[in-house]
Each structure stands twice: as C-alpha cells, then as structure tokens.
A and B are shown apart, each in its own frame.
Chain A
C-alpha cells in the first residue's frame, strides 16, 4: 500500500485490505475462493493443415488446450458438436480450426457463422481475418448484416468462404433470397452457432425455427452441413443445442484454459429496520464497493438488473469519483445506447482508458472488452448461469479477481444470499426453448412456404404440418396443388416477423432540450412503464422528463430536467381462462395448465425520492390496454384450505404468497424475471375461488408456465422454507412483501395458508 495516498497497488492487496475491514466483512455472508486453474494442453491434432500450424506458431501457439483439440477431432470425424467453456478460454479456435482446415482442403467449401448480435459478428470477422492473414491464404471472410453496403453484397454471396451474420439477417434477408446464395448453400459444410445459451425463451424458439428453415434450404441444394455450437456454462448445453438444431451432438466440456484465483463474495446490505425487515439499498452498497475498487485503480464492471438501475448507479459513481478519475472514465452500457457509442465504450475498456463500466446484461455476451479485474453484481441477475457469466468478465490470467454479489431486498436475492450452497452446489439453470409455440411455428411455416413449396411428406417441427398448412390454406396464404403447398400471398412474410419479440416496435426517445435529437430507444413492453408521460427517464446519468408520448408513432419526446426523484409505474391486470389443458387435484387445491388472455393497462406512477427512496407523489397514466394471449399455470384453493379466514386476510395471504412465488419461479427457469408474471385473485373471474396465476409474458407462451405446473410441489415447499427462514417479524420486502402491502400479519397469513396446504412451516 502507498502510505501517502492510502491506495493499494495491486488487487491482491485490495483484497487483503477488505479482509481486514470489519465493517465490510460483517455484511459478507459467504466468501469462496476458486483456486488457480492450470492449463491442460494437448498436442496438435494429426492432420492439422501446415498453414494453420504456421499461423498458430506465428502467434506463439505450439500446443492446443484440451477442449480445442477435442473439438477439432470430433468435428473432423463428422460429428455435430457443442462446446462449453467459460469466458476467455479460446473457444473461437474450437470452430475456426476445423472450418479453416476444410476450406484449405477444398476451396469451394463454405461456412456460415451465426452470432446473436452484429457487434459480436464484427469482432469475430476481425479475429478470423487476422488469423487468415498470418496464413497468407486466399480465404474470404465477410460479415453480412444490415450495415453491409449493397455494392459488396453480391461478391459476398458468390465468393465469401465464411459468411458471418446474425439469425435476424438469416431470417429476413438470406433465406427468403436463397436463390442468390446458390454457391453458399450448395457447398455449405459448417454452420457455427456461437453463444447458443443466448438462444433461449422466445428468441431461442424463433431461432430454432430459423434453423429448421436453414436446414430445409440446404437439403434443397444438396448439402448437409455440420453444426459447431459454442455455449457458456449452463446445465443442459447438449440437450439445449440438440433442441435448437434438432441433431445429435457430441458435448465437449473438458476446458483446458488456465485461470487466475477467483474470489466470490456474497454481500448482504445491513438491516436498517429490523421490524420492517428493511435493508440498506443494494444500489448504495454496490456503489460503495465499486467506488472503493475504482479509487484504487482497479478496473471494474458493475452489473445492474434494469436500465434504470444502471443509470442510477452511473450517476452516483460518476459523482463520487469524478474529482479523481474524471467522469468520462466511468461509462454506462445498455440496450438503448446507439451502436457508435457502444463501440467507443468497448474500445475504451479494452485499452484501459475507461476504468469502470456500469452495464445491464448487455455485456454478459461475449463482446470483446478484454478482461477486467473486479465485478460487482447489483442484485442477483436471475440465474446462476448469468452470475457465472457476468463474473467471468473479471479475471486476468496471472492475477486474482474478485466478484461481489450484492443482494437487494427482494426475496430471490435474500434466498440466494442466505443459502450460498444453493448457488455454489447447484448446477446452473437449463436453457429452454419451445420451438413449437403455435404462433412462432406458424410464422415460420409461412416463411418456409415462401422459400420453398411444402411437400406432402415433409416435417417441420413437432406439430402436424398438414394441419397447419390446411389452416393456412383456409387463411388463403398457401395454395395446394397435387400434394404440394405453395406460398400465394402478396406479403413478404419475414417482414412481419421479428425474432426478438419487441425489436421491430421500439419506441424512439427524442431529446428536445436543444432541438430534436434521438438519444435512445425502449422496447414495446417496457415503454408503458418507463416512458409514460411525466416519467423521469435517465440516460447516461442525465435525467429527462417525458413531455409527450406519441403511442401511435412510437416516439417519446423528453426534456432534460434536474429533480431529486425517479418514477415507478403500476399496472392493472385482468385475466381470463380460455382453455384448460392439464389439471391435477391435491388436498386443498387444484392446479391447472392452459391458455389465458391477459389484459394489462398501466394505471398510476409514483414519484420516489432519490437516495431515501420515499414516496413523494403520484399521477395517472393514460395509455391503451394491451391484450396478451398466452399459456398459464394456476392453482385454486378449496374451501378446506381457506375456511375461517376473512376475505381481507385471505387477500393478504395470497398477495404474500404470490410475492414469494414470483421471485422463486425464475430460480427454476432460466429466464428473465420479467418473462414470467404472477397475479393473485381472491375471487377468480370464472371459478370465483382464490387463485394464483402464473403466465408467460409472450403471445402463445414459451413453455415457462408448463414447467412451473410440473414443479408445483417444489415451488410451494421452497416458498414455505423462504418465509420460515426470513428473520423479519411480520413480513418484509425479502419475503412476503412489506407490511404496507400485506398488512401487519401478512407473514403469518401466508404461512397459515401454506400450513393448510400441508407444507412444513415451523
């Protein structure tokens, strides 16, 4: 430590300092150290092309890591593979080596690379091009996306050996125009899909269908490409990849890359009001930890769960360290920023000019920002896999790294922070997709019909293709002649179908403070709660007030303000059961799975004071109601379980239980907590019985509710355990919710209700 400045000089020293400061250590509920991992090498595979050997040697690589070696061997012996590796383990060689080998052996061979974002694709092309240049071989690698100039598109179609693109582009530009890509599809040998774990939920279900279409086109042109997939650590990489590509795969998970020592610290903010179970704000605690790291020169990434939190943290941090580091050295990073701004931030992180970044999970994906030294997670990001991935952003090969998980007061965070074994000893979540979601499936059958007529005996997905085609014939978009179905509509179907549910309907945010200027965008689902009129929208740490929301034109006009509050909106939700698919009876309750319609409408917003987070006012929101047709899991309580309770008590009990369940559910589903919603009704619209509904927040459902229906028993058991173990007296935000919401006896009511259902509650 430097005695004059009080600054530590290395991260190791900083960690030692932390161990010696009791006021911080008091809040640490768990500290695990993951030891140094040594490299495991394998010899260069027999048969590896001499030019590739040379290119590797020029970069100082004389041996491969075990996983790189095995990937090469498995791929070249003809298997589809999926590799699972942590961040910074050299996974790109797993697919680049076999691809380059194939092209060097046969110049007509082609490969298609898919990345979830344009930025990742561009990173990859740069890296691959560099490798090719060292070989001095004539191998053409191109990105093909919305930014590709029309003048070079034709050259790429005909002569590009490796075409790097994203699923959206494949869906809307390449597959519908496959006749222009004959060279590619006739000779397609490898399809590389990186970041397969990110293709889950709705997006993944769409992508699985795009891959069905891709395989169909390949078959038409006579090629049967091999898939090479790469995934971050999830529980079911092989199963997930197999569902995505619908082929048998070989799993490669013998990671041979070395890693430095890694400290994992669980940090629970101090309780400030024991009766109410209120803890100090996790935002403030995260800020404190991050500021200390940054002031000691440690390059740090802070992850926050929402865009609002990113902006809050950024404002606080820039404020705190601006005298020492200058505000430009700490930046925000999230979905709404414009691409140019993002590239600049990524560059700054790599070259070290930017010392700190506050991000949403946008930086969880493999965008190249180099390796940082420390990571602060403001709140549990919703899945074990995400925690590992976010924490993987910190960790340089030859020094230690540290990750803090700072719990917020919501029940899920509190559960994790109090039960570290749940995190450390449990495999990360499963990625799930539901490619046969009827709405998604039909959309892609339309696109597929546009691309090629369907034959009588064809298969597309798990549902009966013939039934769907007959349906489309009745809708007059396909026409059947002699056992063939032809697309017969003026529309170009891919235009109306966006793989990312809200992508095509983004709201643009226009700052009118100094003449109109677009500063960002917000997706359709978050728009009603984030940019309703009078909302405070925070962008890059600057506050704006929404002056006008043009809902039709999808524009929000904002003006810069300086106020000491932020806003938070409420939604009113109405729910109607359409159809019951599955049902089970238990003592005291019945559970169901089926289809519902959900009507939602934002009602009011609250103004919440910065820092103290007290409620200082409210106002109405005037926006149209939205309707959602989706799948749902719900259970209704029988008389026997609820007898002897007033409606009011029952209301509090249900609300409390719902509050706990909505936070536990994402534990079992690898999904964004926002993807699954919970609605308690003390008197359900149709059955008139007390009911708790869970529904997928996507039209048609994406399999989340169905999984919860199956997990019903575990859910209630876990809920009982969580409430039981919570240290508050009568309910707090960490379990059933604050007393203002669930009443003074809310905790007791919820426990009584669970006891009535046979759960262990003492």
Chain B
C-alpha cells in the first residue's frame, strides 16, 4: 500500500464498507422492458400500454381526448402559448434523479414519460444501468421528443427539465427545446389548493382530489439511495418499486390534466366541492378568460350558507367589477355591507370596504353624488364607532383620511350638480 493509501485509511471515519460481492452486473431486466442498443451504447427501456378506458382515479385515461384543447389555459401566459392541436402532441414527463438541486452533478437515472396514440396511452421509462449509459439514453430521448409540442409536468419547468437540459450540455450534445411548450401543473395546483391541501405534492393532490390510492408505493425520496445500492451491489430487484412509482406518477399527470381540463370545460360538478375550491376555481376560470364559467362557479358559491361564503363576497365583487358587471357587483357589496350593520363593531373594518366600493360606484358610474355621500357618511360613522373601541392603527388613520377626502370631493360635486339646476349665484 502506498503512503497515500495509508493516510487515506487513517482519514476514514469508520471501517471501510465491506464491498458486498457484486451480483450479476446485468440487471435482470424488469417486467415489460428490453435493452435498447444504439451506436452510442445501450440502456433499458420499459414500456406499458393502457387502453383508453383504463381508470386511474376518478377518470378514464381516454377522457383527455374531450378536453385537451383547453389545456394551454393552465399556463398564465396562455395568450401567447401555442395551443394544443392534438392530444397526441402531449408528452407527460417525470424523472427520477440522483439528488436534489439543479447542479451539474445531479443525474436523471430514469426518464419517464407517457403519450397518447389513437387507441392507447403508453408509458415508457428510459433507465441507465450505470452513468456510462447516459449518452445513449440522451440521444434516444432527444430524437423521441421531436414529434411533441407540449411537455406536461409537475414542477418540471424548474426542476426535471433543467436537469435534463444540463445533461445535454454536459455531454456536449446539441439540443434545442425552443419548439416545446411547458405545461407545468404544479403552479395551478398550488393556486387551486394551497388553502385546502397541506402540501401540494403530487402524491397529496392525487389522493385528496383525484381519487388515487397507491399501495406499497416507494416514495420518490428513496429512489436515489435504491439506485446507489443497485450500483454498488448490482441487485436490480428493489428497482422494480422505483419503476412502478415513476410510472404511476406519469399516469397521475394524465389524470390531473384531465381533471384540470374538465374544470376548464365546465364539466366538473362544482356542487360537491368545498367553498374555497369553488372560489379558487372561479378565479382561475376568470383569469383563463372563461367568464361565463367563472360566473357559474361564483353563482354556485353564492348559494352556499352565509357563514361560509361571507369572506369571498368582496373578492368575487372585485372580479365582477373588473369585468364591468356592475349589477352583480353591487348586489354583493350590498350583501357584504349588511354584515357590518348586523355584526359587531370590530368586524367593521371589513365592512367599510363594501361601502367605499358602493360609494365609488355611485360616484363614478351613476354620478349619483348624494347617494354616494350617504354611503361615505355611513362608512365614517362606522370607522369612528370603531375608534371609540380600540386604538386606531396607522392603517385606520389613513383610511379615515381618505374617507374625509372622498367626502369633500363628493360635496363639491354634489354642490356643482345642484348649481346646474338652481343658479345659486343669483341669491
């Protein structure tokens, strides 16, 4: 042993890991898989086919065919995004990597994806038996994705996809994804369920919203250590769990896309959902430029008991106002203002806003200044009543100041309106 090796031995914190006898290096291939051999080398490809009436959770996979054309509205930038021409252009994509973070040393050892043909949903998983096989896999994958226009992922935009792109740079393989649109379902899922699901991980979403239950699932967090163990001892059997986990993730991506698509198509029965979900769906539909559906969702919400719908009234009214549907908005402001009349003085902070909104409406839309003045006075009354109960915050003071200004302005306008009828100057 060289001197260096001696020193290395002394550095070791514990005795060296007894290197377990390496088993047959060739992974006894998992079910449904084959070895792909190319000029660049070989790797494992596992393929599973599902008929379009296969049920995964609440939906049959084939239901995507009815809603795919709306999916681009998942993105906030849908106005500029290419729309989905055919459900066959969608690639559902998820990787298993050796670590966290998007640094150069994080290797996707498994690239999983799913896609539709006219008759089937097919999942494929590319797996490298050692890092030396990566190059072959990357070449294969790049050629494969050429036919697709949209990438459907869950957190793929900032994690899985950049990592895969890194690998092309690292292997000096020319790569362009300029024609591939990203449909990352994480953002909209968080948007819809951030208040009702504790953590919007895919596994929580599928369980609580999509009716999917997994049995004996290998958590994705263990995938790296299972892979390292396989690299060390060559025993491929624990990997079966990782393959299955990744495959189910891909299927869930399809189910989630169907679920979101049904919402966009107005096919989801909102009466069974909790109030917060309905509100957030309404908001999303409004942003997705589907105002009729948004209104339908809000109308459903307004049927809910007073106690549960109360906190949404103002927000919904704001949406109506933005869309210049003032009649609906006024009704909601009135309803919200009522709570202030009957409720306790301490609640009055929330009840000032509807009064102010109403005042603005009468001032700017209807030019009914006296009406507006009455509302401002009521708001001032409430604000002062509250001040007698608790010490005013800076915010309160600001509000009060603004109300006074508004009042002064309305007085002028009302006076001017009056002077048009009666020439006061002649007195």
Question: Which residues of chain A have a CB within 8 Å of any CB of chain B?
Answer: 176-179, 182, 438-439, 442, 449-453, 463-464, 467-468, 471, 474-476, 479, 481-482, 484, 486-493, 578-579, 595
Chain A residue nearest to B223 in the complex (CB): A490
Q: Write out the residue numbers on chain A whose beta carbons fall within 8 Å of the beta carbon of B403.
A: none
B17 adjacent to A450 (CB under 8 Å):
no
Q: A176-B104, A179-B166, A451-B104 are known contacts. Are A490 and B19 too (CB-CB below 8 A)?
A: no
Which of B7-15, B142-150, B242-250 is near enough to bind chain A?
Answer: B7-15
B130-A450 in contact (CB<8A):
no
Counting CB contacts under 8 A, is B418 at the interface? no
Return A512 CB to nearest CB of chain B, in Å: 28
From residue B47, how far is it (CB to closest CB) to chain A in Å?
25
Residue numbers of B with Cβ under 8 A of A are 2, 4-8, 10-12, 16-17, 19, 98-105, 107, 130-132, 165-166, 169-170, 224-225, 228, 231-232
**Is the Cβ of B10 less than 8 Å from the Cβ of A488?**
no
Pairwise interchain contact A177-B231, C-beta atoms closer than 8 A: no
Q: Is the CB of A479 within 8 A of B131?
A: yes
How near does chain A come to B62, taking the closest CB pair, in angstroms?
Answer: 38
Rounded to whole Å, the gap between the CB of B37 and the closest CB of chain A is: 16
- Are A492 and B5 in touch, CB under 8 angstroms? no
- Interface pair B105/A481, CB less than 8 Å apart: no
CB distance from A220 to the nearest CB of B (A): 8
Residue among B2, B16, B224 making CB contact with A490, cutoff 8 Å: B224
Supply 14 further A-B pairs (C-beta < 8 A) apart from A488-B228, A489-B98, A595-B10.
A176-B103, A179-B104, A438-B8, A463-B4, A464-B2, A464-B4, A468-B8, A471-B8, A476-B17, A476-B228, A479-B131, A479-B231, A489-B99, A595-B7
Per the bound structure, the CA–CA distance linking A488 and B228 in Å amounts to 7
Give B197 Cβ to nearest chain A Cβ, in Å: 27
**Given A463-B4, A474-B16, A481-B131, A178:B104 Cβ within 8 A:** yes
Q: Check if B104 sits within 8 Å of A177, measured CB to CB.
A: yes
Q: Of B19, B99, B165, which one neighbours A492 at CB under 8 angstroms?
A: B99
Residues of chain B lying within 8 A (CB to CB) of residue A464: 2, 4
Q: Which of A182, A450, A487 has the most CB of B within 10 A?
A: A487
Contacts of A493 in B (CB 8 A): 105
- By CB atoms of chain A within 10 A, which of B8, B98, B170, B232 has the most? B8
Verify A439–B107 contact, CB threshold 8 A: no
Which secondary structure dominates chain B's binding surface?
A: helix
CA distance A464 to B104 in the complex (A): 24
6 residue pairs, one from A and one from B, having the closest CB atoms: A450-B105, A481-B132, A486-B131, A179-B169, A176-B103, A487-B105
A154 to chain B, nearest CB (A): 12
Sample (25) of A-B pairs whose CB atoms are under 8 Å apart: A176-B104, A176-B105, A179-B165, A179-B166, A438-B4, A439-B11, A449-B105, A450-B105, A453-B131, A467-B5, A474-B16, A476-B228, A479-B130, A484-B132, A487-B107, A488-B98, A488-B131, A488-B228, A489-B228, A490-B99, A490-B225, A492-B103, A492-B105, A578-B10, A579-B6
Instruction: Tell me the complex Cα distance, A474–B11, Å.
Output: 13
Which one, B8, B98, B130, contacts A481 given CB within 8 A?
B130
Say yes or no: A450 contacts B2, CB within 8 Å: no
Determine if B8 and A492 form an interchain contact, defined as CB atoms under 8 angstroms apart.
no
> Which chain B positions have C-beta within 8 A of A476?
17, 228, 232
Alpha-carbon distance A196/B10, docked complex (angstroms): 33
A450 x B4 contact (CB < 8 A): no
Bound complex: CA A471 to CA B5 (Å): 8
Which residue of chain B has its CB nearest to the CB of A182?
B169
Inter-chain contact B231/A492, CB cutoff 8 Å: no
Q: Are A579 and B103 in contact (CB under 8 A)?
A: no
Residues of A within 8 A of B232 (CB): 476
A467 pairs with B2, CB closer than 8 A: yes
Q: How many whole Å from A556's CB to the nearest CB in chain B? A: 29
The distance from the CB of A414 to the nearest CB of chain B, in whole angstroms, is 40
Give chain A residues whose Cβ lies under 8 Å from the Cβ of B231.
479, 488
Is B11 a contact partner of A442 (Cβ separation < 8 A)?
Answer: yes
On whether A491 and B99 interact (CB within 8 A), knowing A451-B104, A464-B4, A475-B17, the answer reads yes
A579 contact set on B, CB distance < 8 A: 6, 10
Residues of B within 8 A of A463 (CB): 4
Residue on B with the closest CB to A175? B104
B101 touches A492 (CB 8 A): yes
Complex: how many Å from CA A492 to CA B232?
20
- The answer to whether B102 touches A177 (Cβ under 8 A) is yes
Determine the distance from Cα of A452 to Cα of B131 in the docked complex, in whole angstroms: 12
- Quick one: closest B residue to A176, CB to CB? B103
| Residue numbers in B under 8 Å from A453 (CB-CB) | 131
Contacts of B165 in A (CB 8 A): 179
